[in-house]
Structure 1
Amino acid sequence: MRMTNIGHDWADRKMSKRLVCCVWVLVALVVSNRASAHSLWLASENSAAGREAIAYFGESPSDRTYHWPDRWQQLDVALRDGGQQKSLKTVIRDEAEFVGRRGTDALPARGTIETQVRYGVYHGTLLNYVAKHVWANRREDPRAKDAEPLSLEIVLVEAGGPGTVVLQIVRQATPLAKAQANLYLPSGERREIVADERGRITLNEIPAGLLGVSVSDKRDGEVGVWNSESYQSVTNIATMTIEMPAKEGRQIVSQAARQELPVAISSFGAAVCDGYLYVYGGHQGKAHDHSRDNLHAQFLRIPLARIGQRDGAWEELPMETPVQGLAMVSYAGRVYRIGGMTAKNRAGDDEQLYSVDDFSCFDPSSLQWRSLPPLPQSRSSHDAVVIGDRLYVAGGWSLMGNSDGKWHDTICTIRMGEEGAQGEKSAQWRSIRAPGLMRRAVAAGQLGGKLVVIGGIDNSGAVSREVNVYDPAKEEWTMVASLPGEGMNGFGVSAWNLDGRLLAGGSDGVIYALAAVDSDWHTAGHCAESRFFHRMLPMSERSLLILGGASRSGHLRSMEHISWLESDLSGN
């Protein structure tokens, strides 16, 4: 890969305080190999259009909002592809959560990208940057045979399994013994590490997420002139980022979906149907204020393909009763609304809260609602899931004008189907006893054809992480491994089955996965923003949207796009 030379314009520009700070950080980097300093980083993110390359200038792989150097008005990024180097186009972006360059071409499911760029002369040293990024690969893709050696690079020798990585520091194709480097863990922690005599660094027990490594090498006595400025040394700075997989040889990559809900809401209904995301009702305002004014009175949708796009806009649809604490599912091209809580009081008045027994169907083709057989009892703060051709509703309580609700100890189910056959109008609800399951603010999911009810809060006010499983074939209940976590985790959790695994996430920000009902939960990834009373829904066969909900700072508008990818880091 050739070195990109950018014209020297630094002295001709009026530097802001931010840029002056950047320069002083570079001084620290030149003086000490161990200093935490701004470097050039490459990484990749998933968007609605696919995985895209990103380049940014920050102190760590997670620092993505620092000023992009003015002199880097172009950047040559190469994708290694079957022993060839494919050039990738990037464009400058200055966004709320990202400042740098974004690729315009979709990346493959796995690969290696790299760039080498000259910064210029500063304080007598010539600064060069090399950045690389590897995702979903056991090792780096080969470079082109005629490619010149990089001035300094970090090489992914091998990833022997989940959490294990072998790296090598190389200068001009020669291992750099005892090289000092900075390690940036997915948690954000920075550590100082030293390579062995072969320039190798072996890392173990690295958690899932983006791992970063940086190293610098100053060579005194190398003199010359660049852009009419003389230098007495050369400093090469190399970085690498690697997407580390979760324990089962898969990885989850999270980033902001660059799309927000129109309003910050929690306890809402949401579903994905035929390429659209639908959002209904929910709670808005302060967490414990309940009134008609705190009910989000909108039914909205947006095409999944438009999420994060400039022309992505929410469409308002016909609204029925404004409620919160409802469940929503999709089936056979329609969207179904189940239960919820409404309020009769205005803000500031005594609370008059009522659970409803509504069961309604929205037809996207006609944009009309149709009432269906009501629930056996009014119910809110529950969840629902479709398994086969049956809808299951679990958890929740019934509020009747005051805060002392009646807790449900049953689940209910109804057969879904086409009109005229086993149609919704002729179908009847069936109530099923649920021993040990008297909880609300639960998540309902399915795994292996079984209903899985996760967490919640019980009628004594205790947060629960218990997991109850109902087998429809045997009509039996069992208890399985509890959801991990502590404190409030389990309360207001959300879940979805993705690629044969049940994923669940709550207030601790961890995404847990259950591969089978008789197995243990394992950590599959982390959300960028911890939340509860949110929704977790499919973006594609192997990616999720996590949207809305509440955090310690209040209700959220934000959405995250989580990708669950096959990874060769555990073997080919």
Structure 2
Amino acid sequence: MKPLSLIRRTVFLQAAAIASCLLISPTAKAHMAWLATDDQGHAILWFGESPQDRTYHMPAPIAGIKLSGGPKSITTEAVDTETLIGIRSINPLNAADEIAGHVTYGVYHGTKLTYHVEHLPLRAPKQWPVEPRSDAPLQSIVTLSSGGGLQVTIVANGKPAEDVQVKLLGAHGEEKASAKTDIAGIVTFKHDVVQPGLNAIVAGMTDEHGSGTLDGNKYNSTTDYLTATFRIPGEVPAAKPAEKQPQRPDMETDRSASIVPSELPELPEELTSFGAAIAGNTLYVYGGHTGNAHSYSTEEQSDRFWGLDLSKGKAGSWKQLPGGPSLQGLALVAYKNRLIRIGGFTAVNGLGEEHDLRSQASVTEYNPETETWTDLPELPEARSSLDAAVLGDHVYVFGGWRLDGQSSESQWHQTAWSLDLSQPEAAWQPVKTPPFKRRAITVAAHDEKLFVIGGMNSDGKPTTRVDVYDPEQQTWSEAPSLPGSGMAGFGAASFATGGKLYVSTMDGLLHRLSGDGQRWETIAKGPLARFFHRMLPTGENTLLMVGGANMQIGKFTRIDQIQIH
């Protein structure tokens, strides 16, 4: 995984130090612009330390903000009372319209400072908008789960913003929780920090390379703050145990499978975005990310290669085998008791340094009998965040992008390739151009076809789309999308066994493609929801869930077993 751009996104507290310079008292908290509605339905905006601090002086630039409710602009007037100093809309607003606006304060200490404000409409949380606004350079999408938890997506310039610190403030203005967005721009807050009343989120972003001139004043960086307020009605219900949480109708499981902890030894280290395959009776794991979320460096990337003899069951132990380059976002597939390692990216920067991530074109074959690696023809393009699958004697590679160090933007690939593994002199051959550009996909061979499942598209949006390539006909078609929201397809895992295709998604659900290929059947919910993991079959009715992470819990070393009933 790589940040969506090479702009450095600083944590909120670092950015808040700039805003605190605006205050009279150097010991005071940072002041922000806040937007809400009053009891009569008027929009109100003020400048204070929290949503409850409404009588601080309103700076003139902030008072000049342009607000809109839905497609309409909002006319405002100044307000100066004992309970509110700020601005208020002249007329009450439609309670169904989301209210928003942004305003540039000016250049302060060399940075251009901009405030973005939002307020969700006064209606049930299930009716809150779930699509980003087209006219907002920085915005949030807030949804309340059935268990009372909160999911916040930060969107910058139409794309998910990674590595942004988001704070959740409670009904009394107190900080309840804080977390960084993942690669899909999402943070999740548990039910126990969400409370009835006016809640708020605060996020800050700094572009240290942004420069220009504003009103004759030069700036060398830009800082943007976002505040969004929303009301949680009534008493938030306590969260139910994960396995008993109600699912949406399209997510009901038919209980034809179960997911339980296996008796196998745990992984020797925590890993995401790694390669894994089973050849013979051995489970192999190569490379992967070992560090904190959104942090990439040579110290946080594995070059290790592990093997576990599955025939020994719980008595087995992991053996470190001859490794190679540090890689993540790679593919590892099995072919006739051998292993094929394909692509991935290498971090060449040190811990804490600016990310310098470089996709690789290398393809190598591992022989378990001699414990040696042999180079195969390189991919025609360096590629990472890809996936691959073997069908017959050919390995097929789909998806991914090229990362090329600090100064270049990522290049999304719309090419696909195959290699005949039965021919020593074979070269990579182009596959008919896919009708997509996606990465963080999962690929599986099923019914003599290749299924390219989920991932993220080149617009930076996760997707549940499923595309199918028929090598015999050299044609592409589209299969039913995975159940659930777009995030369900991000960092999923798939494999076919026993004549059935299975997909494990980040919401903890296991899906199976119906026999006629016209729908997905949700057949189990696991105790640990994972993404950027691997799912591998050990028989026609059993699969293993290996590695990966959960956005709330973190990385896993436990191996789960899927049993098809």
Residues of 2 paired with 1:271 and 1:187: CA distance?
29
1:265, CA displacement in angstroms?
A: 0.7
Gaps of 5+ in 1: 1-183, 191-204, 209-244, 566-572
Partner of 1:546: 545
1:441, CA displacement in angstroms?
A: 0.2
1:253, CA displacement in angstroms?
A: 4.5
- Aligned to 1:488, the other structure's residue is in SS state helix
Supply the AA of the counterpart residue of 1:260: E
Residues of 2 paired with 1:508 and 1:427: CA distance?
40
- Aligned to 2:488, the other structure's residue is in SS state coil
Partner of 1:364: 368
Equivalences for residues 111-126 of structure 1 within 5 A: none
Partner of 1:276: 282
8 Å Cα contact 1:528/1:560 also seen in 2: no
- Aligned to 2:431, the other structure's residue is in SS state strand
Equivalences for residues 284-363 of structure 1 within 5 A: 284-307=290-313, 309=314, 311-363=315-367
Matched, 1:463 2:462: yes
1:479, CA displacement in angstroms?
A: 1.0
1:499, CA displacement in angstroms?
A: 1.1
From 401, 406, 416, give the equivalent of 2:405.
Answer: 401
Residues of 1 paired with 2:527 and 2:320: CA distance?
28
Residues of 1 paired with 2:428 and 2:259: CA distance?
40
Residues of 1 paired with 2:474 and 2:563: CA distance?
34
Distance 1:189 1:454, change over 3 A: closer
Distance 1:453 1:516, change over 3 A: farther
Supply the AA of the counterpart residue of 1:408: H
1:433, CA displacement in angstroms?
A: 3.8
Supply the AA of the counterpart residue of 1:400: D
From 243, 258, 261, give the equivalent of 1:255.
Answer: 261
Matched, 1:536 2:541: no
1:280, CA displacement in angstroms?
A: 0.2
Residues of 1 paired with 2:264 and 2:276: CA distance?
19
8 Å Cα contact 1:545/1:561 also seen in 2: yes
Equivalences for residues 37-186 of structure 1 within 5 A: none
Partner of 1:75: none
Residues of 1 paired with 2:497 and 2:259: CA distance?
14
8 Å Cα contact 1:447/1:516 also seen in 2: no
Partner of 1:414: 419
Residues of 1 paired with 2:504 and 2:297: CA distance?
28
Supply the AA of the counterpart residue of 1:333: N
Distance 1:206 1:292, change over 3 A: closer
8 Å Cα contact 1:397/1:406 also seen in 2: yes
1:256, CA displacement in angstroms?
A: 4.1
8 Å Cα contact 1:500/1:515 also seen in 2: no
Post-superposition Cα deviations, 1:175-225, rounded to whole Å, max 9, x if no partner, equal xxxxxxxxx9994379xxxxxxxxxxxxxx9965xxxxxxxxxxxxxxxxx
Partner of 2:451: 452
Supply the AA of the counterpart residue of 1:372: L
Supply the AA of the counterpart residue of 1:405: S
1:518, CA displacement in angstroms?
A: 3.5
1:447, CA displacement in angstroms?
A: 1.7
Post-superposition Cα deviations, 1:9-64, rounded to whole Å, max 9, x if no partner, equal xxxxxxxxxxxxxxxxxxxxxxxxxxxxxxxxxxxxxxxxxxxxxxxxxxxxxxxx
Supply the AA of the counterpart residue of 1:323: L
Post-superposition Cα deviations, 1:107-161, rounded to whole Å, max 9, x if no partner, equal xxxxxxxxxxxxxxxxxxxxxxxxxxxxxxxxxxxxxxxxxxxxxxxxxxxxxxx
Residues of 1 paired with 2:360 and 2:421: CA distance?
21
* Cα RMSD after superposing both structures: 2.2
8 Å Cα contact 1:256/1:528 also seen in 2: no
1:536, CA displacement in angstroms?
A: 0.3
Residues of 1 paired with 2:351 and 2:543: CA distance?
35
Post-superposition Cα deviations, 1:475-531, rounded to whole Å, max 9, x if no partner, equal 110111001112521111110002111100121100011135741011021222001
Matched pairs, number: 321
From 377, 387, 390, give the equivalent of 2:394.
Answer: 390
- Aligned to 2:444, the other structure's residue is in SS state strand
- Aligned to 2:299, the other structure's residue is in SS state helix
8 Å Cα contact 2:491/2:533 also seen in 1: yes
Matched, 1:438 2:443: no
8 Å Cα contact 1:186/1:207 also seen in 2: no
Residues of 1 paired with 2:543 and 2:341: CA distance?
21
Partner of 1:562: 562
1:259, CA displacement in angstroms?
A: 2.6
Residues of 2 paired with 1:282 and 1:322: CA distance?
8
Deviating beyond 4 angstroms after TM superposition, the runs of 4 or more aligned structure 1 residues are: 205-208
Supply the AA of the counterpart residue of 1:407: W
1:431, CA displacement in angstroms?
A: 1.7
- Aligned to 2:311, the other structure's residue is in SS state helix
8 Å Cα contact 1:342/1:353 also seen in 2: yes
Gaps of 5+ in 2: 1-239
Residues of 2 paired with 1:438 and 1:487: CA distance?
15
Residues of 1 paired with 2:380 and 2:454: CA distance?
23
Residues of 2 paired with 1:185 and 1:367: CA distance?
45
Partner of 1:188: 244
Residues of 2 paired with 1:524 and 1:188: CA distance?
15
Post-superposition Cα deviations, 1:317-356, rounded to whole Å, max 9, x if no partner, equal 0011110000000111101100000011110111111000
Distance 1:352 1:189, change over 3 A: closer
1:474, CA displacement in angstroms?
A: 0.8
1:258, CA displacement in angstroms?
A: 4.9
1:434, CA displacement in angstroms?
A: 3.0
Supply the AA of the counterpart residue of 1:349: E
Once the two structures are aligned, what percentage of the paired residues are identical? 37
Residues of 2 paired with 1:251 and 1:469: CA distance?
25
TM (norm. structure 2) is 0.55
TM (norm. structure 1) is 0.54
Partner of 2:490: 491
Supply the AA of the counterpart residue of 1:554: G
